[in-house]
Structure 1
Amino acid sequence: MLKIENLTKSYTSGGRALTVLQNVSFELMAGDTLAIIGSSGSGKTTLLGLCAGLDRATSGSVWLNGIQLDTLTEDQRAAVRNEHVGFIFQNFQLLPTLTALENVLVPLELRGISNGTATAQGLLERVGLGGRGHHYPTQLSGGEQQRVSLARAFANRPKILFADEPTGNLDAETSATVEELLFELNREAGTTLVLVTHDPELANKTQRVIRLKGGQLVSDSL
């Protein structure tokens, strides 16, 4: 489902090259769950963005569901994400002018599915927000917003889900609820899950944990 080969990412800062990832390689089979851990600045979020085709590596290759992302244009990568990928972000990234139901509908509408309301409503019910579909993000708590983003992430039945610090802005009790829902939905859908986290307890709920340090892969619990 995901193959990363000798991935390197460098930036030019102040006239000198800054390498944030160096020769990272690993593979994931369909349905696998993986956590990427490491201290701040270790390259976790950069790696996640490259895996999802949000950015292009300086060198190396990414294959997602058999598609080599580094050979594609930005529009082509966007089409691949729309077809195969779901996202969950630390700061929820819900559209503030849309209701909870409308936010969940967005990925369905992007795929040209015009009658997705029942699907979206069913997902809101699955995350315990069936009666909150008409509420806007500002009318919801942080935990409720993240549950809406979970419903949205699974709306187009993604092959792979990328989660960047999915519980980073939540208290311990709310985090536990969101984590439980994330793994339940993932298991039910058979989705491949890649998550970035600083929380060792959350990381240990995945089948595999890789650790980055200074942009390099220093351990892999495969």
Structure 2
Amino acid sequence: MSILRVDNLTKTYPSGGQPLTVLHAVSFDLQAGDTFAIVGPSGSGKTTLLGLCAGLDRATSGSVWLNGIQLDNLSEDQRAAVRNEHVGFIFQNFQLLPTLTALENVLVPLELRGQRGAAQTALELLDRVGLAGRAGHYPAQLSGGEQQRVSLARAFANRPALLFADEPTGNLDPDTSERVVNLLFDLNREAGTTLVLVTHDLELAAKTQRTLRLRGGKVVEDISSNNQIVI
């Protein structure tokens, strides 16, 4: 069964009385454990596509199935419940809660699910990303790379079926980026998670099994890592 299926997805916004289509009839199908990059210039529709795939927004037309669940007709609360159950997120600006420590940030998704032994699980995840010794520090006391590693630990806390990463190295220097990327792919491989990655970094995209290139909201290339054209 597909873990993520996108069928003829289109998104249009009203703009000065005229419809503005930012995504045109995009389709693809991913299996469990796939790694997938979405690339393209600014304004090409990458983040819009990511948001639709994750159920953060609803398409104008077309369909999304996330782990077998069709998102199209679900309410906002129902889509949020699907995300909480099946999805992890990593963002360019980390999006850690500033009033919570590193450990508490990782604990949040575990506690929302009422998981037993949540504190121990959170500490083990921080240890996995090399930050067990920084568990009591607040985001403002951590470097950018450390904050992104906390967000990695948080993203994998629920062992998500899908991980959506939006420019995860966009605010990091090259050395820190490399460390975060290695952790991301290691954790992803260990958990068997499907990774959907939006990036401007073509070197990062090349690490995935498949790359979808957008321009003007349209798919202009869909190619696997062995240079086989998918479409």
Determine if the TM-score, normalized by the shorter chain, exceeds 0.5: yes
What residue in structure 1 maps to residue 139 of structure 2?
137
Which residue is 1:65 aligned to?
67
- Aligned-partner Cα distance in 2 for 1:115–1:10: 45
Instruction: Tell me the SS of whatever aligns to 1:56.
Output: coil
Q: Tell me the distance in 1 between the aligned counterparts of 2:13 and 2:63.
A: 17
The equivalent of 1:14 in structure 2 is 16
Task: Give the 5 Å matches for 1:1-222.
Answer: 1-222=3-224
Structure 1 residues 56-110: Cα deviation after superposition (integer angstroms, max 9, x where no partner): 0000000000000012111110000000000000000000000000000011111
1:115-147 C-alpha deviation (Å, 9 max, x unpaired): 300000000000000100000000000000000
Distance 1:112 1:140 in 2: 28
TM-score (norm 1): 0.99
Secondary structure in structure 2 of the residue aligned to 1:71 = coil
Mapped to 2, the partners of 1:138 and 1:114 lie a distance apart of 29
**What one-letter code is carried by the residue in structure 1 that aligns with 2:187?**
L
Matched position secondary structure for 2:171: coil
Instruction: Say how many residue pairs are matched.
Output: 222
Matched residues in 2 for 1:189 and 1:60: separation?
A: 30
Q: Which runs of 5+ in 1 are unaligned?
A: none
Stretch moving more, 31-40 or 103-112: 103-112
CA–CA separation in structure 2 for the residues paired with 1:112 and 1:76: 18
Q: CA RMSD in A?
A: 0.6
Question: Aligned-pair distance for 1:114?
Answer: 4.9
What is the rounded CA distance, in whole Å, between the counterparts of 2:65 and 2:23 in structure 1? 17
Deviations 1:20-47 (A, max 9, x none): 0000000001100000000000000000
Per the alignment, in what secondary structure is the counterpart of residue 26 of structure 2?
A: strand
Deviates further, 93-102 or 8-17: 8-17
Identity of aligned residues (%): 78
Counterpart code for 1:102? E
